[in-house]
Amino acid sequence: MGASGSGKSTLMNLIGCLDIPTKGRILLMGKNIAALAPSGLAAMRGKLIGFIFQQFNLIPTLSALANVAIPMMFQGVPSERRNARASQLLGMVGLGDRVHHKPSELSGGQQQRVAIARALANDPKIILADEPTGNLDSTMGHKVIDFLKELHKKEKKTILMVTHDERLAKEAERIIYLKDGKIIKRG
């Protein structure tokens, strides 16, 4: 948690193996990510980490089903299994009747749920959520947070959420406060 410019997104990118540290090390599943080749970082991301972005990052020309299936394609999952899993995940987030809709045909809340389903596609151990309710109304925001809490509780997923919203932070088991790229408080 922290204000804009506090280092939240940078920390998220480091933990998510999108960036590597210029000094020090980050251990993920016992591996120093700074020592991994780009292909090793991509493999780590693909197998261990699911991303939920604030802007959803859905591909506008693809259906909800295809957007959810993409991460599995990069892991070599056969087409039939990808589509079955994507359909199952969309059903799980309440969009079983929207699998063939493109992002422009979905509300903001529905697009966010497609993004959540996509984050779960490869059954990651870690879900990184960058302001996952930032573009949603309060009702849909609460539903998204409740869903993430359920994933943590029932499926034992580690959820790392970045926010500047105090109300969202209160939902967390643990809070790390950042300012100017430094940890200033742990709660």
Please state which CATH class domain 8-186 belongs to: alpha beta
Output the pLDDT for position 166.
82
Average pLDDT for 92-113: 93
Output the pLDDT for position 147.
86
b or e along 133-157 (b: 16 or more beta carbons within 10 Å of the residue's beta carbon)?
bbebeeebbebbbebbeebeeeeeb
3-state secondary structure of 15: helix
Q: How confident is the model at residue 80 (pLDDT cuts 50, 70, 90)?
A: very high
Q: Is the pTM of this model over 0.85?
A: yes
Output the pLDDT for position 157.
92
**Residue 165: closest CA among 132, 187, 127, 140:** 132
Residue pLDDT, tens place only, 30-40: 989 989 999 88
**Apex CA 183: angle with CA 177 and CA 187, to 5°?**
45
Question: Kind of pairing, strands 176-179 and 27-28?
Answer: unpaired
Average pLDDT for 131-135: 80
Question: Does the pLDDT of residue 135 top 80, yes or no?
Answer: no
Question: Kind of pairing, strands 49-52 and 126-130?
Answer: parallel
Output the pLDDT for position 170.
85
Percent of the chain with pLDDT over 70: 100
Output the pLDDT for position 187.
80
Q: For residues 21 and 55, give the distance between their C-alpha atoms in angstroms, rounded to a whole number.
A: 25
Q: How confident is the model at residue 103 (pLDDT cuts 50, 70, 90)?
A: very high
- Note whether 99 and 87 are within 8 A (CB): yes
